[in-house]
């Protein structure tokens, strides 16, 4: 008796709830009601009772099942179907069939909490609600609801049983967990409202579940009847809060859970779904809900254990539910309800109330004018670029940093970082590690025992530990094993540790000591996109913004979330993220296929970025025409003259910026050995603009080989390295040390061109190598690496790559039969650079497209990259300027620039005058455009097997691809 008094008091206290609007009514309410009335007038009792039932249907079952559904429609006049497993195409086909069999259009429902993927194969999957709970921008949640509404509508779904609004305050909850937005009732309500607004704007009814609240249970209602021993004050303030907010936002429907809540239903063992006090007195009368009310599935043990089939359905209807979801035995259910009406256990008006609501809902979703669903093009309509972009946006907003001692994240100083990755968990990690490796060298370390692992980790100062668990469903296990917990603690004792959890945040509950872990990142799910985005955040290419949706012990309260800055490193996305068209960009694929098929080059790499985001990055073809080794994105190419702007020019610009010379300084001033020569008075500005009347190049090697046999003279070369012959020209071929002075002497003495004006020449970049060594007492390759490549994380940008990389990682350039008489693989193709020990300002640099892009993006960002300023902005502008444009000379200082008038085609016809770049003799090319934000890298070995093959240049392939890139810009 005492409990009944409490219940009554509770119901009185919530009488003050605002009257909900009529969420099932449409704008043309008059026509809607006329349609409902016209149907109600002609319905028999059997047909009215049939409208109450929603039967489960499958699109992956046989004819027997399809005939069963047809029989349910024909014999029992069922009002709706909830589709389960299958494919969207089959579901659409069956929906059309079933609708054609039904006199009254069927209401089609679906469990699609995170998208159609929850039930259907080959559909789009959005993140779990727990992941979305970390997102602070609720506009994105509304967009998610909108997109899911589009998907549902496309395949003929009228009701989506989402959002889940259970407030997950119990980490041990076995059935809600990741399906909840979290433990904060305000956050849950806001997310649910945003989702509901989005999905219902598409004419699909949302459904809040599981009323009155399934979040604080430790049992699964699919298997038993969960017990909630909360008082009324707690229920009103927590579990019911999001429902009240949703009712004010025109929520269309609610699902009643199978729960044992004594404070709401005193009668022992009565599930909330069968309780008149819960469904009618609380939900309908006191909370003023006027939308559709569904039971949870009546075949779940939380309901099925309560009574026999038929009796369950009757009890649920008597409680006040409108739609009886997944009845166990419809024949018995119809019989029981019909007899109950006959025996006046409820009135016909009560039956009419539910049927009218069901019909109002059917009109609301357009079933008054049902048109068979189009079967063609479903996949393109439900897996769209908008969905992919939105998924990325949601993950970028969700991933959460809960601990960040000493600003461990983002990793800034790549020059000093020695990074290892260790995998924990039992799921895939490749997208994560592949993306990590785009930023710098990250070594994957593993060992069968802890002792061996710790030994292998000794050389590293930073360890990234990825904990990867299955992303298959939100119910998958997330707990670390005891062994993993021990390993985590032991590894953390002697290294800077970044723990990245690709699973539920509840994973952290079993960690005993957080003090030894420097940074903890919660990435929530182990999807490929989550892995890619999380890796980008670790290196500061993306900000971290998420807030923890649940509390972890007393360490990390709900709402914890440390934000990090964007260091302006390259990030990786899809074309539409930067206003480009994916389909148009794929035209590049056909061009690169043609390059290989037409023997323009054996293979290559193409990278396209815009606004600092790489949106096209593909390799094509093979290392050679024997097609034994495919080109990988990590493979290194001989960059040839691209070295000028990535190897020589950076040190020239830095020297000028340091005040060591100015643009009008003469070569004789910085290199005294040129005094009194014809190079003495050439200014740096003239030399770098190619207006200093220097020869294009000098074939130094010719005097060192037999002109007939092409065999190197013994006085110049040795097959063995020694103190006198230490300049490595190629494999087993060493040049005499004294020849370096001969090269500089030849440059000094060679006659100047007679005519004034422009003539491309690489000689100045040889000279600057000498200047750099004289000035800094260090070689160019060392300085480039220390000043630029290492801090940029451009680990493949290197001279003499065989010192660092396996030969198989380096693409061959040419089969040299005129000088070195061998296949050049890892040795610079340019003969002059080879005679400078592989290091020169004009050639010698190797690298992959990703690392070339880092240097070019640094230039695009006016000298800033990765949280570090490499140049002042004015320096970049100074060198990216045409000083002789009035003389029809297109060049900047070192940088190539777009063609003027009818000059040879240096770049795309669409490139702006501010754009800059360079091409390379081996078939390489890179270009950047500050006005459009476009960065482009093309690498190939068109000189294989012979440099006489110049089809690539003759057909302007590199710039033709660049045209395609510009034509792909849509905004």
Is it the case that residue 8 has pLDDT exceeding 60?
A: no
d(CA 272, CA 487): 46
**In 750-881, which ranges are continuous DSSP H helix?**
763-776, 780-784, 790-792, 831-834, 849-860, 873-879
| Res 943: pLDDT | 98
Each residue of 602-622: pLDDT tens digit?
A: 999 999 999 999 999 999 999
Q: Strand 924-929 to strand 916-920: parallel, antiparallel, or no bridges (unpaired)?
A: antiparallel
Q: In the chain, what's the furthest Cα-to-Cα distance?
A: 121
Mean pLDDT of the chain: 95
Is it the case that residue 308 has pLDDT exceeding 90?
A: no
Quick check: 32 and 336 in contact, CB under 8 A?
no
| Res 12: pLDDT | 43
| Res 10: pLDDT | 44
Quick check: 299 and 313 in contact, CB under 8 A?
no
- Mean of pLDDT values over 930-942: 98
Quick check: 648 and 894 in contact, CB under 8 A?
yes
- Mean of pLDDT values over 544-562: 97
C-alpha distances in angstroms, 102 versus 68, 306, 351, 357?
Answer: 14, 32, 20, 18
CA-CA-CA-CA dihedral for 282, 286, 290, 292, to nearest 10: 0
pLDDT band at 304 (very low <50, low <70, confident <90, very high): low
pLDDT band at 903 (very low <50, low <70, confident <90, very high): low
d(CA 131, CA 474): 10
Query: In angstroms, what is the C-alpha Rg of the chain?
Result: 36
Each residue of 593-607: pLDDT tens digit?
A: 999 999 999 999 999
| Res 173: pLDDT | 85
* Sign of the dihedral defined by the CA atoms of residues 428, 431, 436, 437, in that order: positive
Q: Report the percentage of the chain scoring pLDDT > 90.
A: 92
Is it the case that residue 358 has pLDDT exceeding 50?
A: yes
CB atoms within 10 A of CB 158: 23
Quick check: 920 and 950 in contact, CB under 8 A?
no
Q: Which position has the token pair 């000298």?
A: 863
Each residue of 769-800: pLDDT tens digit?
A: 999 999 999 999 999 999 999 999 999 999 99
The enclosing H or E element of 482 equals: helix 482-492
- Beta strand ranges found along 151-276 (DSSP E): 159-160, 207-211, 253-256
Closest CA to 432 of 587, 277, 537: 537
* Residue 531, CA atoms < 13 Å, CB-side half-sphere: 23
Closest CA to 827 of 648, 699, 640: 640
| Res 175: pLDDT | 86
Q: Which of 443-447, 474-478, 916-920 bottoms out in mean pLDDT, i.e. has the lowest?
A: 474-478
Is it the case that residue 4 has pLDDT exceeding 50?
A: no
CA-CA-CA-CA dihedral for 708, 711, 712, 713, to nearest 10: -70
d(CA 113, CA 877): 52
- Mean of pLDDT values over 706-712: 96
d(CA 368, CA 289): 24
User: What is 276-304 written as a DSSP string?
Assistant: HIIIIIIIIIIS---SEEEEPPTTSHHHH
| Res 728: pLDDT | 98
Quick check: 328 and 307 in contact, CB under 8 A?
no
d(CA 858, CA 869): 9
SS3 867: coil
CB atoms within 10 A of CB 405: 15
């Amino acid at each position: 008796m005492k409990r009944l008094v409490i219940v009554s008091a509770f119901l009185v206290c919530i009488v003050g709830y605002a009257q909900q609007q009529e969420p099932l009514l449409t704008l043309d309410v008059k026509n809607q009601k006329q349609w409902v009335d016209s149907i109600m007038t002609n319905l028999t009792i059997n047909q009215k009772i049939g409208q109450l039932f929603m039967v489960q249907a499958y699109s992956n079952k046989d004819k027997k099942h399809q005939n069963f559904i047809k029989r349910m429609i024909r014999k029992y006049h069922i009002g709706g179907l909830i589709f389960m497993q299958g494919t969207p195409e089959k579901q659409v086909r069956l929906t059309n069939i079933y609708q054609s069999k039904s006199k009254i259009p069927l209401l089609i429902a679906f469990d699609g909490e995170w998208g159609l993927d929850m039930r259907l194969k080959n559909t789009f999957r959005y993140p779990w609600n727990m992941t979305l709970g970390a997102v602070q921008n609720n506009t994105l949640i509304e967009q998610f609801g909108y997109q899911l509404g589009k998907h549902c509508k496309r395949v003929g779904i009228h009701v989506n049983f989402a959002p889940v609004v259970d407030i997950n305050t119990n980490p041990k909850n076995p059935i809600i967990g990741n399906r909840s937005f979290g433990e904060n009732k305000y956050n849950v309500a806001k997310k649910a409202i945003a989702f509901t607004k989005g999905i219902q704007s598409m004419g699909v009814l949302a459904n809040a579940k599981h009323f009155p609240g399934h979040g604080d249970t430790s049992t699964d209602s699919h298997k038993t009847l969960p017990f909630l021993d909360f008082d009324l004050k707690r229920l009103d303030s927590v579990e019911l809060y999001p429902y009240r907010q949703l009712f004010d936002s025109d929520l269309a429907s609610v699902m009643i859970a199978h729960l044992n809540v004594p404070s709401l239903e005193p009668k022992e063992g009565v599930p909330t779904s069968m309780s008149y006090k819960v469904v009618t007195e609380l939900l309908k009368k006191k909370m003023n809900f006027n939308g559709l009310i569904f039971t949870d599935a009546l075949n779940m043990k939380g309901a099925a254990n309560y009574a026999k089939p038929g009796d369950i359905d009757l009890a649920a209807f008597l409680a006040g539910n409108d739609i009886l979801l997944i009845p166990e035995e419809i024949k018995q259910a119809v019989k029981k309800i019909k007899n109950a009406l006959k025996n006046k256990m409820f009135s016909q008006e009560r039956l009419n109330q539910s049927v009218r609501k069901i019909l109002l809902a059917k009109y609301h979703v357009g079933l008054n004018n049902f048109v068979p669903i189009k079967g063609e093009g479903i996949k393109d309509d439900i897996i769209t670029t908008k969905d992919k972009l939105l998924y990325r946006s949601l993950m970028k907003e969700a991933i959460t940093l809960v601990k960040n001692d000493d600003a461990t994240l983002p990793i800034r100083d790549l020059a000093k970082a020695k990074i290892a990755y260790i995998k924990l968990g039992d799921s895939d990690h490749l997208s994560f590690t592949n993306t990590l490796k785009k930023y710098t060298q990250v070594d994957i370390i593993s060992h069968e025992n802890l002792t061996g692992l710790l030994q292998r980790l000794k050389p590293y100062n930073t360890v990234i530990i990825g904990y990867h668990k299955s992303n298959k469903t939100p119910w998958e296990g997330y707990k670390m094993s005891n062994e993993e917990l021990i390993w985590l603690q032991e590894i953390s004792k002697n290294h800077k540790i970044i723990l990245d959890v690709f699973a539920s945040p509840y994973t952290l509950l079993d960690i005993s000591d957080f003090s030894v872990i420097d940074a903890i990142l919660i990435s929530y799910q182990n999807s490929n996109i989550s892995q890619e985005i999380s890796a980008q955040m670790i290196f500061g290419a993306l900000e971290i913004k998420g807030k923890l949706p649940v509390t972890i012990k007393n360490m990390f309260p709900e709402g914890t979330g440390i934000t990090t800055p964007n260091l302006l490193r390259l990030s990786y996305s899809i074309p539409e993220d930067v206003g480009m068209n994916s389909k148009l960009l794929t035209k590049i694929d056909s061009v690169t296929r043609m390059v290989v098929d037409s023997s323009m080059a054996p293979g290559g790499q193409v990278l396209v970025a815009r606004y600092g985001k790489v949106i096209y990055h593909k390799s094509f073809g093979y290392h050679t025409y024997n097609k034994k080794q495919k080109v990988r994105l990590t493979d290194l190419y001989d960059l040839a003259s691209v070295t000028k702007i990535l190897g020589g020019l950076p040190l020239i610009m830095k020297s000028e910026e340091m005040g060591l010379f100015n643009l009008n300084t003469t070569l004789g001033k910085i290199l005294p050995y040129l005094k009194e020569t014809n190079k003495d008075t050439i200014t740096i500005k003239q030399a770098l603009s190619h207006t200093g009347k220097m020869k294009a190049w000098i074939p130094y090697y010719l005097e060192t080989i037999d002109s007939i046999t092409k065999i190197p003279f013994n006085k110049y070369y040795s097959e063995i390295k020694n103190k006198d012959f230490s300049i490595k020209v190629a494999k087993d071929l060493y040049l005499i040390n004294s020849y370096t002075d001969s090269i500089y002497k030849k440059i000094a003495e060679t006659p100047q061109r007679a005519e004034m004006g422009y003539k491309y020449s690489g000689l100045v970049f040889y000279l600057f190598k000498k200047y750099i060594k004289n000035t800094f007492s260090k070689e160019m390759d060392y300085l480039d690496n220390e000043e630029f490549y290492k801090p940029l994380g451009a680990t493949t940008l290197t001279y003499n790559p065989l010192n660092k990389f396996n030969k198989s990682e380096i693409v061959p350039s040419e089969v040299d039969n005129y000088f070195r008489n061998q296949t050049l693989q890892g040795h610079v193709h340019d003969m002059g650079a080879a005679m400078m020990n592989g290091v020169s300002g004009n050639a010698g640099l190797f690298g992959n497209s990703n690392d070339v892009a880092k240097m070019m993006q640094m230039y695009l960002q006016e000298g800033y990259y990765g949280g570090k300023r490499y140049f002042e902005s004015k320096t970049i502008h100074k060198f990216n300027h045409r000083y002789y444009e009035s003389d029809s000379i297109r060049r900047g200082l070192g940088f190539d620039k777009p063609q003027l008038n009818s000059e040879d085609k240096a770049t795309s016809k669409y490139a702006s005058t501010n754009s800059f770049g360079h091409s390379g003799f081996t078939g390489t090319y890179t270009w950047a455009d500050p006005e459009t934000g476009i960065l482009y890298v093309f690498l190939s070995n068109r000189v294989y097997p012979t440099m006489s093959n110049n089809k690539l240049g003759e057909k302007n392939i590199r710039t033709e691809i660049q045209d395609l890139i510009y034509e792909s810009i849509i905004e």
